[in-house]
Amino acid sequence: MFFPKNLAMSNLERPFASYHLWSLVVPNQGQQHWHCQMRRGFMKARQNEPEVQALRSQITAAQQIGLLAQQGVYEFHRNRDLFVVADGVERVASILELDGLSVQVRTRVLNILHRYYTKPILRRKRILLMTRGDEGFPKPIWIIRKNYRFRLYAMMDCVVMEPDNTLHILDFKTGKSPFDQRQALVYLLAARYLYPGYRMIASFYNLENSHKSEVIRVSNRELDQVEGELALIATKHYQDVQKYKNSGQFSQIFPPNPGKHCRYCPFHRICEFAQLD
C-alpha cells in the first residue's frame, strides 16, 4: 500500500474518518436520546482488548441478514444466468449456505433473494463496482489539505454508470432503519477522489421492501463542507483516543448515556453503566 512519504510513520495512529465514525460521534436526527459516546470508546478506542474484540465479533441477526442479502445480490450479478433459470434463488441460497442458519435469518434472506430475482433493479445496468460486503477494510483515501489531513474509509456496495455517464452510488439496506443521508455524502466525497471528473449521485435501496430513497446530489462546494466536517470528526476522535491512552479516564472522555437502549448495546455485559432493568 502506498503512503505519502511524510505520512509513512505510525499511519494507523493518524486521524481517520468514515461514515461509521461520523454516526458514532454525532447522532442522526431523532436519535439523540439514545446516542452514547461510551459506545464509540469501546468500538474505536478499546477495540483491541480481548473482551471488547470478542463482543464486537458477535454478529447480530440483523447484521447477518444485511450481509447475506448483499452477498446474494453479488452472486446474482456474478453469474447473470441465475436470473433466467427457474431455480436461480435456490442456487444462490446454496452458495450462501443458508441451511443451518436460524429460521428467522433463512426466511428473511430467502424472501430478499426471491424479491431481487423477480425485480433485479441492476440487471440492465452497467456496474462498475459491486462488493460482497465481507472484503474487510477498504484502502484508505488520503485527504491532505493545508489545514487538515486524514484517512477516509468508504466501503461502497455498488457503483453504476448511468446512460448519461453519471456515476450512481447505490447502498443496499435491509430491515427498518431509516436512511442516513450522511452515509451517501461520505460515499460521494470518496467518489470525488476515486472517480474524479464525473457527475455523481447516490441513493439507497432497501432489498427487503424495495423502497428507494430520493436521489442525493450535491455540489462540489457542499462536498468541501462535508470534507471539513469529517476533518473535525477525525481530529476530535483522534484527540479523544490519545487522551484516553495517556490518562486511562475512559468514562470522562467517552461519557456514558445509559437507558433502555443499553440492552441492544453489544457492550452491555462489560459496561459498568449499563441499564438493563
CB-nearer residue toward ligand SF4: 14 or 261: 261
3-class DSSP state for residue 101? coil
CB-nearer residue toward ligand SF4: 55 or 152: 55
CB-nearer residue toward ligand SF4: 40 or 108: 40
Quote the least distance from Cβ 46 to ligand SF4, whole Å. 11
CB-nearer residue toward ligand SF4: 72 or 256: 256
3-class DSSP state for residue 166? coil
Q: Measure the CA–CA gap between 178 and 214, rounded to whole angstroms.
A: 12
Quote the least distance from Cβ 251 to ligand SF4, whole Å. 9
CB-nearer residue toward ligand SF4: 23 or 70: 23
88-95 and 61-78 helices, crossing angle to 10°: 120
Please give the DSSP secondary-structure letter assigned to residue 87: T
Quote the least distance from Cβ 152 to ligand SF4, whole Å. 26
97: left (phi over 0), alpha (psi -120 to 50) or beta: left
Quote the least distance from Cβ 175 to ligand SF4, whole Å. 20
CB-nearer residue toward ligand SF4: 178 or 255: 255
Quote the least distance from Cβ 224 to ligand SF4, whole Å. 33
Q: Measure the CA–CA gap between 153 and 104, rounded to whole angstroms.
A: 32
User: In sequence order, what E strands does 109-182 have?
Assistant: 126-130, 141-144, 149-153, 158-161, 167-173
CB-nearer residue toward ligand SF4: 78 or 269: 269
Quote the least distance from Cβ 163 to ligand SF4, whole Å. 46
DSSP string, 252-267: HHS----SGGGGG-TT
All three cell numbers of 107? 426466511
Binding site for ligand SF4 (CB under 6 A): 36, 38-39, 256-258, 261-262, 265, 267-268, 271, 273-274
Q: Measure the CA–CA gap between 83 and 72, rounded to whole angstroms.
A: 12
Parallel, antiparallel, or unpaired: how do β-strands 141-144 and 158-161 relate? unpaired
DSSP string, 45-85: TSTTSHHHHHHHT---HHHHHHHHHHHHHHHHHHSGGGGTS
Quote the least distance from Cβ 269 to ligand SF4, whole Å. 9
